Amino acid sequence: MGTWGVGQPAATKLGWFAREVDAFFGHVPFLVGSATRTTEWRDVDVRLILPDDEFDALFGELTEPRCLNLKWNAACLAFTALGRDMTGLPIDFQIDRQTEANEEYDGPRHALHDHRLVALKQ
């Protein structure tokens, strides 16, 4: 967690938010973007990367721009609002299809999870 630019207690709150995302989708989201490298960020980018088949089953085909896919847009907006409410951070939450996420984004990804739950499972 030393490279995260959100600090404490925000990192812990991000873990709590990630637990809710994981409970709903069955996958842990990632902290990406400027908040992985610096404390000077405009927003906190959180991405959920779903396997292609799961993304397609939930949202259908990718659209350009993506916000034209109303199901995808609604899910991203709902979890953005939840993340902002739970953490107090300017969360920007998006759901990505795994193939496109791996092709388009090469920056760092930090898996977000509730560290208390991980410790309890060990």
* pLDDT of the residue at 49: 96
* pLDDT of the residue at 119: 46
* pLDDT of the residue at 8: 87
Query: Confidence class of residue 62 from pLDDT cuts 50, 70 and 90?
Result: confident
| pLDDT beyond 90 at 38 | no
Contact 76, 97 (CB under 8 A): no
* Domains with residue ranges and CATH for the chain: 10-121 (3.30.460)
Q: Which residues of 29-51 are buried (b: 16+ CB within 10 A; e: fewer)?
A: bbbbbebbeeeebeebbbbbbbe
Would you tell me how many other CB atoms lie within 10 Å of the CB of residue 11?
18
pTM here?
0.86
